[in-house]
Copies of this chain bind each other. A is one copy, B any other.
Amino acid sequence: MVPRYSRPEMSAIWEPESKFQIWFEIEAHATDALADLGVVPKAAAKAIWERGKFEVERIDAIEAEVKHDVIAFLTNVAEHVGDEARFMHQGMTSSDVLDTCLSVQLVRATDILLDDMDKLLASIKKRAEEHKYTPTIGRSHGIHAEPVTFGLKLAQAYAEFARGKERLIAARKEIATCAISGAVGTFANIDPRVEAYVAEKMGLDIEPVSTQVIPRDRHAAYFAALAIIASSIERLATEVRHLQRTEVLEAEEYFSPGQKGSSAMPHKRNPILTENLTGLARMVRSYCLPAMENVALWHERDISHSSVERYIGPDATITLDFALARLTGVIEKLLIYPERMQKNLDRMGGLVHSQRVLLALTQAGISREDAYRIVQRNAMKVWESDGQLSLLSLLQNDADVSAKMSAEEIAERFNLDYHFKHVDTIFARVFGK
């Protein structure tokens, strides 16, 4: 966990205090269920809720001696509850508490992430609508291709993050399970109804079959979902970085008055937020690997997954939360330069319209191969002139073209609006009515 890439609400989930509070609730709910079943006295369950407390430092001190965190916790709580504490944890095993707690933490983390995603989606949608018809050049291979609108670029990002959100909802379901099934998952010493009771109280489903632990394919799926969202963050961040390049400069991260771009070069306004997001994406992506390696635990369980999760549980969720919020800020405040977009669009002497001419020629009866050659020979001249020559004039003066199309017919192929006639259709697909 890197403090500068952490936000308090998410970090709080991973604090020892929060963890022990969840442990306490699991233990106390379980004792309630045991009391309902007549396994332990109702008074004991009541006592736990009433007198149950814990202190993080005290637990740490006990753990240093017994080298077992759940026993340390139970011992500390028992110090407050007194004799009736012996009815706590009846028939349970440490993992019943640990794994169910991790589920609760991941569910809470996911709820924050889902909220982050909603904010990001809202900010993208707002800017997409603002720039629904702002013309800009579409680029493939970094090379000018054909016109798009800036809104379309953002619509694509919206659709991608909307898919990410769906995956996150599915991932939440994956890890929202509760296991209170005893030492090897047989419920030998604890009734399955305790599990059902605790699950409901903690907002989880029951784990159909556990083996002391909740199976780690669930967690692997969870961290993979985060990794893919991170990759989408990298994509949008990369787009902004490209747009902010000196030669392109179609958009810029907001640059606050006090900010300094470079200790050496005072004129610099660098896309440092999106570069930072690119790095954060690498981290969140990397965490899915140890999560996948965690799946193949030995037999009913080994504890190799635990250290991994002490890192990636907090690190993946805290980093992704920070990254989503940062990206939302970038998009919200993004400086967008439509005039520069138009200027860039124009700089290629009309080359972006070449395909339309190509199609017109084939429809006028020229073979595709010939049409391609005709257009390309003119296009290449424009290309080599660095946009000083105009494709329109060259074509109007090419005998093979003018044999088939009038100057007006050719000019008609250079109309930008032609490209945007389906923008509305696409927006409807992405944003709904």
Contact = CB atoms under 8 A, between A and B. Distances in A.
Interface in A201-260: 206, 208-212, 215, 217-218, 220-221, 224-225, 227-228, 231-232, 234-235, 237-239, 241-242, 244-249, 256, 258-260
A237 B177 CA distance: 25
Indicate the member of A148, A182, A286, A352 with the most B CB atoms within 10 Å: A286
A140 B286 contact: no
Nearest to A188: B419
A138 interface: yes
A231 B219 CA distance: 12
Nearest to A356: B189
B263 A296 contact: no
Interface string A67-78: 110110011001
15 contacts: A68-B259, A138-B185, A139-B246, A140-B301, A141-B271, A142-B299, A143-B246, A143-B270, A156-B209, A156-B211, A183-B355, A237-B296, A247-B344, A278-B302, A279-B305
Contact of A303 (B276, B301, B311): B276
A92 interface: yes
A51 interface: no
A57 interface: no
Given A70-B263, A138-B211, A264-B355, A148 B184 contact: yes
Interface residues of A, number: 170
Indicate the member of A66, A256, A259, A290 with the most B CB atoms within 10 Å: A290
A264 B190 CA distance: 12
A17 interface: no
Given A265-B183, A301-B141, A307 B283 contact: yes
B183 A141 contact: no
Interface in A171-204: 174, 182-189, 192
Nearest to A271: B141
A397 B248 CA distance: 29
A308 interface: yes
A347 B249 CA distance: 13
Contact of A139 (B210, B260, B299, B356): B299
Given A183-B355, A344-B247, A265 B146 contact: yes
Nearest to A234: B296
A83 interface: yes
B189 A272 contact: no
A163 B221 CA distance: 10
B90 A362 contact: yes
A282 interface: yes
A269 B221 contact: no
B258 A67 contact: yes
Contacts of A4: 310
Contacts of A295: 228, 231-232, 234-235
Given A140-B300, A265-B183, A283 B308 contact: yes
A420 interface: yes
A258 to B, nearest CB: 5
B217 A228 contact: yes
A418 to B, nearest CB: 6
A399 interface: no
Contacts of A344: 247
A426 B208 CA distance: 7
B139 A89 contact: no
A304 B278 contact: yes
A108 B84 CA distance: 53
